[in-house]
Structure formats: C-alpha cells, structure tokens
Amino acid sequence: MNMIRTAMLLAFMTALFMGVGYLIGGGGGMMIAFLIAAGMNLFSYWNADKMVLRMHHAVEVDERNAPEYFGIVRDLAASAGLPMPKVYLIDNPQPNAFATGRNPQNAAVAATTGLLQRLSYEEVAAVMAHELAHVQNRDTLTMTITATLAGAISMLGNFAFFFGGNRDNNNPLGIIGILVAMIVAPLAAALVQMAISRTREYSADRRGAEICGNPLWLASALDKIARNAERIHNPDAERNPATAHLFIINPLSGERMDNLFSTHPNTENRIAALEAMSQAGAGRQTRHEQQPWGAPAAERPAEPKAEAPKANPWGRNPTGPKGPWS
C-alpha cells in the first residue's frame, strides 16, 4: 500500500507540475515541465539523502566513536527486521532527529548532539525507533520527492510572475493562467506536502512505539524535544526550511498548532495518542521497564556519581574513543 500511495502521490505532483508548465507556456511549456519533473525525480531518488545530510553537516559515526548511540540503532534495527542503516551525528544543541534514504537498504538516521545530551537512554531509543519506522514505511522517499516537487512548483510560480506576461500567445488562459500558476498551484503543492508529512508522523509514532516497546518513552521524548525546539535555534534548518518536515519535531519554530500550514501534527495530540496506545495495548508502563531490544536497563552499567567526568551523554565511559559530542 505504501508503494501504491507513493506512486499516486508522485503522479499527482508530476501532473500538477506539468499543469503549471501548461499555464505558463501551453503545450510546449507542459512538455518542458514534464522533462524537468522526470529529471528532478530521478535526481532526488539517487541523491536526496546525501544532499540533506550535507545541508545539516551530519557526520557518520560507528561503534568506535559512538558506541551507545550506534548500539541503540543497531539493536532497534534488528528488532524491526531492518538492515542496519548508516548512523550520523549532527553537532547542534537543539534536540532533534531525522531519517533519509530511498529504501531500507540505503537508509540513514541522524540525531543531533542536543538529542543525546538532553534525553535519557530510553527516550533516545524511542526517537530512533520512530525514525526507523519512517524507513520501514518508506516515508523517507515519499517525503523527499514531495518536497522536491513542491519546491519546483513554487519555482515555476516565481517564473510565471517574472516571465509569464511575455508569453500570452502560448498561455491558453492568459492572465488567469498566470495567476493560478503563481498562487494556487504552489499553495496546493505545499498543502499536499504538509498533509502527507503530518499523516506519516502519526503512523511513525505508532510503529516506533512498537519497535522500542514502550509508547511512553516516545511521548516523554516528544515533550522534551518540542519544549527545547521552541527556544534553541537551529541555523542549518533555518537556512534549509524545505527539510523541516523530515525532523521528528519542527526544527524551525517548535510549532505546536495542528493546522493546514504546519509541517508536523500537534505535539500534545501525538503524546495523547501514545498514552492511549500504552493504556490500551501495554498497560501503564514506565520509562524504566525492560525493553525488548538490546540489554535490559538493569544490565547496563550503573550511572557514575555526579562528580565523575562524563565522556558521553549518559555519563558512562565508552569502550572506544570519546564520542564526537563530548
């Protein structure tokens, strides 16, 4: 079903792109728009993940320099039946995370240093389970292609504003077509993009809670991330707002309103859904219960005393070199 929905969405966005081209330049403009859309889709399919990671200055890590973070992702991927994705770290104090990649075999997950420093072990696991749910549902491909085409349609709208008036002989609807290309089409593309993003966040919350084993861990993590995102600036996200919908919480403003123009669902609604899931399917769990992935919390090394030096976010010395967040 996800593949069918992806194909339908891709067809709709491509048709919208071609329609804007028709409004600007008639049949010739439509064919040019089709060729551009096809090229952008191919480029996005093969390269969008690399572009997004570069935009946010993500650095790949492994078991040597990020043992616990890498171990969390490895154990969760095994629990979900997924191939091991590449693991990245972003040097940014705002707690947040995202997933990217064209399919589960070529996926990557990225977390900020702020996420590892401000959240507990269990909360980090819940966030990464959410991102792996996006990978498993193939949301990363759908959302990336949608964002690319939505941006391209907006670009065509700007083109219509500057050059459309000189092509009235090719534009079958005249000034009305130019106005539709400038205003209606980019708005429709943005609404589709945002609606898809919000729907897939709820789905990833549910599946992520199943993967990590405790919905309340993710509920707690969402609350912490949302509160911190409101007050901690994310410069890379501000420079690349088209990638905002990829993050677990809006990195631009911590927007919490569930409306047509928000890229993410209302955080309180997401938390309420997770709490209801916990009560209905798993009873009243606490953040410290044993998880089905990896080692039980009781078997992990004990936290050191407060005065001990901290070499990683959870206060335990890693077995390898110091993590890049230290």
Active-site positions read 131
- Give φ, ψ of 136 to 5 degrees: -65, -35
Query: Residues 6 or more apart from 270 whose CB is under 8 A from it?
Result: 201, 202, 205, 219, 222
Closest by alpha carbon to 120, among 253, 299, 316, 283? Answer: 316
3-class secondary-structure state, position 43: helix
Q: Cα(127)–Cα(142) distance, rounded to whole angstroms?
A: 20
State the residue for tokens 């534009």: 171
- Beta strands, E only, 252-310: none
Residue 134, marked binder: yes
Distance, in Å, from the CA atom of 219 to the CA atom of 70, rounded to the nearest integer, reads 22
Cβ count within 10 A of residue 230: 14
Output the six-digit token pair for 64: 């040597």
| 323 vs 292: CA distance, rounded Å | 26
H-helix or E-strand spanning residue 198: helix 185-212
Cα 182 to Cα 178: distance, rounded to the nearest angstrom: 6
Look at residues 204, 189, 187, 180 and name the one whose alpha carbon lies nearest to residue 264: 204
Residue 60 — φ and ψ, nearest 5°?
-70, 135
- Report phi then psi at 162, rounded to 5: -85, -30
The answer on whether 201 is annotated among ligand-binding residues is yes
56 assigned ligand-binding residue:
no
Name 214's Cβ contacts closer than 8 Å, sequence gap at least 6: 122, 126, 278, 282, 285, 287, 289, 291
Binding positions for Zn(2+): 130, 134, 201
